[in-house]
Amino acid sequence: MHIRKRVLVTGGAGFLGSFLCERLLNDGCDVLCVDNYFTGARRNITHLLDNPYFELMRHDVTFPLYVECDEIYNLACPASPIHYQHDPVQTTKTSIHGAINMLGLAKRTRAKIFQASTSEVYGDPEVHPQNEAYWGRVNPIGRRACYDEGKRCAETLFFDYHRQHGLGIKVARIFNTYGPRMHPNDGRVVSNFITQALRGKPITVYGDGSQTRSFCYVDDLIEGFVRLMDAPDEVTGPMNLGNPGEFTILELAEIVIEMTGSRSSIDFKPLPGDDPTQRKPDITFARETLGWEPRVALRDGLKSTIAYFDDLLREMDDISLGRLN
């Protein structure tokens, strides 16, 4: 008889978490999705609720959790500047207390545990592209530090639990990811540009738009997650997962305007503090170790993302105008 692997996904109702839950169910796992809905949303996982192998629990990872599982994916943490700066103390707690609680659970159940870390651990980098050996350049007292340093400390905890308790760990450093189910008001560049273009509002570009980002489509990233988790135990990471294709913010704005057929103008505003000027992953480690690299081109990924936001904004308009029962 096939015994299903029981997998816990924290932040499972979020953008990335919902796609991961979906993938794990398709792979034949039992999935326990845990979320406190700070940035996650039930709408992201409603299509999974009838699946007998899917369970949903409302819980905040800053409090201990007592369940049984074989694997843990720790994705719980607000990941956009607007959300993580809204309550910076809670953001730090989510990263650090959340990591301690999930590592404690993994230690008790002897579960393999995955940490969704971030390219933000590199801060505003002096090395380009960034590889895993680079220690980063982070302002520890800036407005982004609650997230940057919280994630850096979580990585520390993971490796200390690995060394001290022999825990099986996997640490992925995620670079900018986009796709359907992104929060419409998360302030991230892709969702911002698409919603502004669809609404016909000016596209907000900070600075002169020459700063670069690398955009990875969500399906590619989730494939990387699963491959890293399934890799041999000695492959702990940290491992960069992202798309090395590099675009300026201005290029992205122009592509979105073109693809939406919008008449939006571009509105230049001052650059926020500690905003990285360049962001591009060196994915040599992932390519050589997992045979993984992104396959979805930016325009292809934007096509489905724009379609999602188009539907979502229409639905939001209908609700505000009382057209839906």
Report the catalytic residues: 147
CA dihedral 86, 74, 292, 2 (to 10 degrees): -150
What is the distance between the alpha carbons of residues 35 and 12, in angstroms, rounded to a whole number? 6
DSSP for 170-184, please give it: EEEEE--EE-TT--T
**Nearest alpha carbon to residue 249 among 194, 210, 285, 306:** 210
Q: Is the CB of residue 242 less than 8 Å from the CB of residue 119?
A: yes
Q: How far apart are the first and last CA of the chain?
A: 46
Residue 144 tokens read as 């982004």
- Can you say how many angstroms the Cα of residue 216 is from the centroid of all Cα atoms in its chain? 10
What is the distance between the alpha carbons of residues 99 and 93, in angstroms, rounded to a whole number? 9
What is the distance between the alpha carbons of residues 282 and 131, in angstroms, rounded to a whole number? 5
Q: Counting beta carbons within 10 angstroms of the beta carbon of residue 102, is it exposed (0 to 12), middle (13 to 18) or buried (19 or more)?
A: buried
